[in-house]
């Protein structure tokens, strides 16, 4: 985090994890925005009086590591690529700066565009979905754990903000990094240090937040893209991805990423 950004981040009133309990929003409406990291200090500066920032053990920027699962033929990615409704994601997530706290998480976006998230605490990230995670998957979804395999790590740093005046939680993710294992045992990687992905999570779409007002003021348009799908787009060459190309190009434009930086 650069010095200018550090100075802005320090100005926010802190909030603790227990205090965030009332704003979990496990069922919610999401609005995503992608933009250049160079715009972040100005946007945050305009939010100081409206939001509190999660602080854990003195840290306000927290590292997340997520291992995503899909079928051998990338069924979940293809459903997203084709714009299907009722979409699922399965992942293990490790909260690095919270003592390695780990969950198996299931996300479901229904036909009304509402996101429902369920999770169960785990001892560690699993290289298979088994035991408690498999039972939880069977309970929440109609899928069998045996049909899924680990595909890719999606790692990033996150700031989590809570609106002081309405039911809104805002996450701002930076330092996005993707990794996958290759057949020769090495790791293929793609990094986007200058890209910001922000997501406003609200109980209803009608509640326009101060953050959304700030990004609109900066001419940043809503441009949702799944981190998992963006990672698959960049690291898995053999898949058909034509339907994603316009969205990825738009994301590149908003984030100021040159097309040569990724496989567009």
CA distance 103 to 100: 10
pTM for this entry: 0.88
163: which 2 tokens?
């609106």
The secondary structure of the chain, three-state, reads CCHHHHHHHHCCEEECCHHHHHHCCCEEEEEEEEEEHHHHHHHHHCCCCCEEEECECCECCEEEEEEEEECCCCHHHHHHHCCCCCEEEEEEEEEHHHCCEEEEEEEEECCCCCEEEEEEEECCCCCCCCCHHHHHHHHHCCCCHHHCEEEEEEEEEEEEEEECCCCEEEEEEEEEEEEEECCCCCEEEEEECCEEEEEEEECCCCCCCHHHHHHHHCCCCECCCCHHHHHHHHHCCCCCCHHHHHHHHHHHHHHCCCHHHCCC
148 phi and psi angles, rounded to 5 deg = -125, 150
State the average pLDDT for the chain.
Answer: 88
pLDDT digits (tens, 9 = 90+) for 151-172: 999 999 999 999 998 888 899 9
CA distance 204 to 166: 11
Pairing of strands 168-181, 195-202: antiparallel
pLDDT digits (tens, 9 = 90+) for 171-203: 999 999 999 988 787 889 999 998 999 999 887
Q: Would you list the domain boundaries of the chain?
A: 3-259
CA distance 147 to 161: 36
Highest-pLDDT range among 13-22, 35-44, 162-171, 195-204: 35-44
pLDDT band with cut points at 50, 70 and 90 for residue 263: very low
User: Which CATH architecture best describes the domain 3-259?
Assistant: Beta Barrel (2.40)
- pLDDT in the model for residue 62: 95
């Amino acid at each position: 985090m650069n010095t200018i950004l550090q100075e802005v981040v320090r100005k926010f009133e802190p909030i603790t994890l227990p205090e965030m309990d009332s704003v979990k929003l496990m069922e919610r409406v999401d609005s995503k925005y992608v933009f250049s990291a160079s715009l972040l200090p100005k946007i945050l500066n305009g939010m100081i009086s409206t939001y509190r920032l999660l602080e854990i053990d003195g840290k306000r920027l927290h590292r997340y590591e997520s291992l995503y699962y899909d079928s051998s033929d990338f069924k979940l990615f293809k459903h997203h690529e084709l714009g299907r409704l009722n979409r699922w994601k399965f992942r293990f997530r490790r909260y690095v700066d919270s003592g390695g706290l780990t969950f198996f998480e299931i996300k479901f976006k229904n036909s009304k565009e509402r996101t429902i998230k369920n999770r169960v605490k785990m001892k560690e990230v699993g290289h298979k979905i088994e035991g408690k995670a498999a039972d939880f998957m069977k309970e929440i979804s109609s899928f069998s754990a045996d049909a899924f395999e680990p595909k890719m790590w999606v790692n990033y740093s996150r700031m989590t903000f809570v609106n002081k005046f309405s039911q809104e939680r805002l996450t701002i993710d930076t330092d996005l990094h993707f990794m996958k294992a290759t057949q020769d045992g090495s790791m293929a990687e793609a990094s986007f240090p200058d890209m910001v992905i922000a997501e406003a999570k609200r109980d209803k779409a009608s509640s326009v937040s101060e953050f959304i007002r700030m990004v609109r003021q900066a001419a940043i348009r809503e441009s949702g893209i799944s981190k998992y799908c963006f990672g698959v787009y960049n690291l898995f060459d053999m898949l058909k991805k034509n339907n994603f190309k316009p969205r990825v190009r738009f994301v590149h434009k908003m984030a100021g990423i040159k097309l040569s930086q990724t496989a567009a």
